[in-house]
Amino acid sequence: MPLFIEYENVIKEDLKKQKVKELLESIKKEISINPPDEKRINEIDQVSGAESKEKYDALIMIDLGIADDGSLRMYMKDAKQPLRFYPESETLWVTAYYKRLLAMIGMSFTRVGLIGKIAILITLKNNLQGFSDWFDYIFSFKKVLLNEQNYSQPTKELRRVLKDKLPIGIINALTMIIEIDTAYRWRFQDIISELKQENLEGFGVFKEIGRLLNILRQREKMGYISGKLNGIKWLVYALLLLSPKTRKLIRDILKELNLNELRFSVEDDYWINQNRADYKFKGLSLEERHKLNIEKYGSVY
């Protein structure tokens, strides 16, 4: 089976490992991560905390492979661990729409009055299938969905739990964002690792979600993202309060997750410890995380 599937037109035959390698070689030509120019270096520098051009050599992909569990591994120049994803250019293009939609909903919820908030909730409730159909439409003409075995383990676990609980278009949109966008994916892994599933019974789900979102805001260092999180927090609270069905759905999803499958792997730890000054992963500053890599690998990068 090919690495990427054409939506609703999956090729059935099994491809041998060599054929998969040939496919990987062909899609590597469309790699979206390239050596950054000086302007991009300055932009990244504000986020990553890095100091020199040499430290961006690790952004150059030198190989792409498939792990034993079928998930992708992207090998970067001079890096001591691979990345557990592959940001294929078409996929980045499509998921950008979904990220903007999520951001728009969260920010809008904070900026409107009570009547506006109610209108947003009613729209979401009555048009969930419509949103899913729209996502399906976008996916239908872009060959961007991965086969189930090719997702990374955190995404596989999320898709397993969401299956049959949400429309497939919603599942595909959410999990593709988690799969290829490390800004979202690593934050999700970081905060979900703090989840205490025993606190979810009854109305305890309110308190537990609030606690997680507060931790997320405390660790977030980008002001505009904190604004989005505040909107999402009150949107989730409203959904939990006004819809017992939604409250049960969210509780069931959080209780069913196998948290061990979602935690940072050795590969993830290597990458979050060397950059991303915009977020305090595990509650640690970038300098503190640098020391962890130095202790384990002898250097930060």
* pLDDT tens, residue by residue, 153-203: 999 999 999 998 988 888 888 898 899 888 889 999 999 999 999 999 888
Supply the pLDDT for residue 275.
78
- When divided into structural domains, the chain yields a total of 1
**Is residue 185 within 8 Å of residue 194, measured between CB atoms?**
no
Supply the pLDDT for residue 266.
95
- E strands, 117-178, are 145-146
Tell whether 23 is covered by a domain. no
Supply the pLDDT for residue 29.
47
Lowest mean pLDDT among 48-62, 168-182, 223-237: 48-62
**Is residue 94 within 8 Å of residue 142, measured between CB atoms?**
yes
pLDDT > 90? residue 147: no
Tell whether 12 is covered by a domain. no
Q: Given pLDDT bands bounded at 50, 70 and 90, which one contains residue 139?
A: low
pLDDT > 70? residue 225: no
b (16+ CB within 10 A) / e for 47-66: ebbbeeeebbebbebeebeb
Q: How far apart are CA 301 and CA 298, in angstroms?
A: 9
Q: Any idea of the CA torsion for 274, 275, 280, 283, to the nearest 10 degrees?
A: -10
Q: What does the pLDDT look like over 237-263, one tens digit per residue?
A: 777 777 788 889 999 999 999 999 999
Cβ-Cβ contacts under 8 Å for 268 (sequence gap 6 or more):
84, 186, 189
Tell whether 93 is covered by a domain. yes
Tell whether 202 is covered by a domain. yes
Q: How far apart are CA 236 and CA 194, in angstroms?
A: 18
10 Å CB burial of residue 21 (0-12, 13-18, 19+) is: middle
27 or 196: which carries more pLDDT confidence?
196
The tokens describing 273, both together, are 């410890």
Lowest mean pLDDT among 40-49, 93-102, 149-158, 205-214: 40-49
Tell whether 122 is covered by a domain. yes
Tell whether 255 is covered by a domain. yes
Residue identified by tokens 């040939």 is 22
Tell whether 109 is covered by a domain. yes
Q: Which string of DSSP letters, residue by residue, matches 101-134?
A: HHHHHHHHHHHS-HHHHHHHHHHHHHTHHHHHHH
Supply the pLDDT for residue 107.
67
pLDDT > 80? residue 125: no
Range(s) of the domain holding residue 172: 89-262
Name the average pLDDT for the chain. 75
Tell whether 40 is covered by a domain. no
